[in-house]
Structure 1
């Protein structure tokens, strides 16, 4: 499965090629930024006091905008492992003299990080889904976390990323004849800026979102669902919380299974019946049969493959195949919501008419403009202690 001791990192290759760390955020309103991050951690079962006095490791912090919040909660030690030199420069620039003394920056891949201690909390946000060597990295993170510590990571799969993958297809059509990366980014901003404006709370720089989400190849590795995460870590970790919280649990605490694998199975079964609700962040519909959701997953996988073939190899057959796949998706999702169905019809219309223009993508197809999947989902897991 792996090319060597560690696999090619599509994020790192893309970022270093263009000297970017495209994860910057608008934090002019620093108070709101802190409150948003505190709200996220609260949904994951962590309070600011959970960090106080603890040893914290953050893997792949990018430019450090989220790390800046965590440090203010006074961990006893805060280590950031960031392999991208541009990201390291951004971190050093962001953290003023007061906070620089509170962090330790390690400019290495996590595979090459061998500390002589374990950590109470390990954070790895927006990274694992885009890697080829997911299991290797998860095993590494596990080795760095103390028993009864908390691991926070993100998951994303072909369903939750479907509309974003389609945007990659359109971005390629719009920019394939351009050579300059900056020129491509500007075209992408002009085309997809109106889409991002529909997202309440969106606070990334648009140029960064375009550089990160529409170019490079990491997103074609996104096959890491909450279920896959739970199954891989399930022998050793209890699922703590997720954001969004798509699970319900009415089990009486005295009857809860005492082993992680048995405890997590209840939530894994729910995921199979609810994963269709990841395709559009504005739509929630009742549970469905596992078989229908598995069919939807396979269709989204096929769509991702065709987009990859178009972007990587300029495959002319990809358009016809995408039209057919999206037609089958409409039949699969017929019982959900018109927001999804109409967005799918608009995608078909764009491809059939080859309406690949900035103006059309920016303003003509109103259902597509506001169609985003649930993207990445956060999950916190508690590492069990062998008794």
Structure 2
């Protein structure tokens, strides 16, 4: 959503340097809330707001595990969110299921990926599924909205603007059942998005959503499982 707000703040024909300064001014207070930030505000604006391919950088864990199939098994992640209380003697053959266990753990911890400042109690994956679906839906709407902007389709853009607003409201509704603070932050986002023409001061002055940054990068290590005779099927033993 910060990417989409940025596209509404700066016209396409504005110079690169002017876009940079405008977006630093608008989002600087947001970025100033991040502890131990390793990039300058300027670099973050370039990477996340001006970079035209930013919204394409999305690799869901489910897609990763489906792609690697049985070739690799998850070994560890950071942050560490998976617990596995199964008896070690049962972890053989088809019962290993490390990837499935990791995916289920991610589903139980959806809320803790939304705001890096906080962790939340686990909930059943099925209970978090509507929220996961709502986030996937708004990501697709964001891709469609950006494409409409780039294609100069004003009617399509306006239609998608309204749909995104409704989807923000749906996310706020779902979050309200788990955490009123997060829901309030998303309501504030929705109010800014609903403005006919959001201004720098509107984004700069956000008080609730400004500090909400997700755990956008999860590091996963994999190992190549060995066959029943103890030999790696092919290639290196680690991936």
TM-score, normalised to structure 1, is 0.53
2:209 corresponds in structure 1 to 368
Q: State the 1:258 CA deviation.
A: 4.4
Instruction: Please say if 1:321 is aligned against 2:163.
Output: yes
SS in 2 for 1:381: strand
The 1:260/1:228 distance shift into structure 2, 3 A limit, reads farther
1:8 corresponds in structure 2 to none
> CA contact under 8 A between 2:25 and 2:200: conserved in structure 1?
yes
Within-5 A mapping of 1:124-139: none
2:103 corresponds in structure 1 to 268
Instruction: Please say if 1:383 is aligned against 2:220.
Output: no
1:202 corresponds in structure 2 to 37
Q: State the 1:275 CA deviation.
A: 2.3
> CA contact under 8 A between 1:171 and 1:188: conserved in structure 2?
yes
Question: What is the CA–CA distance in structure 2 between the aligned matches of 1:245 and 1:225, rounded to whole Å?
Answer: 17
Question: What is the CA–CA distance in structure 1 between the aligned matches of 2:222 and 2:18, rounded to whole Å?
Answer: 42
1:335 corresponds in structure 2 to 177
The 1:233/1:260 distance shift into structure 2, 3 A limit, reads farther
2:154 corresponds in structure 1 to none
> CA contact under 8 A between 2:8 and 2:197: conserved in structure 1?
no
> CA contact under 8 A between 1:303 and 1:322: conserved in structure 2?
yes
Tell me which protein shows more helix as a share of its residues: 2
Higher relative contact order structure (alpha carbons within 8 Å, sequence separation ≥ 6): 2
Per-residue CA distance 1:275-334 (angstroms, 9 max, x = gap): 232122223223334334222222222222332333332311222112211111122122
Per-residue CA distance 1:22-56 (angstroms, 9 max, x = gap): xxxxxxxxxxxxxxxxxxxxxxxxxxxxxxxxxxx
The 1:257/1:225 distance shift into structure 2, 3 A limit, reads farther
Of the candidates 91, 106, 119, which is equivalent to residue 284 of structure 1?
119
Question: What is the CA–CA distance in structure 1 between the aligned matches of 2:158 and 2:76, rounded to whole Å?
Answer: 43
Per-residue CA distance 1:329-378 (angstroms, 9 max, x = gap): 1221222223311111111111223361212211x211111011111111
Give 4+ residue runs of structure 1 displaced > 6 Å after superposition: none
Within-5 A mapping of 1:1-387: 166-258=1-93, 262-314=97-149, 315-354=157-196, 356-362=198-204, 364-386=205-227, 387=231
Segments of 5+ residues of structure 2 without an aligned counterpart are 150-156, 232-239
TM-score, normalised to structure 2, is 0.82
SS in 1 for 2:220: strand
The 1:350/1:380 distance shift into structure 2, 3 A limit, reads same
How many residue pairs match? The answer is 221
SS in 1 for 2:50: coil
Question: What is the CA–CA distance in structure 1 between the aligned matches of 2:127 and 2:111, rounded to whole Å?
Answer: 9
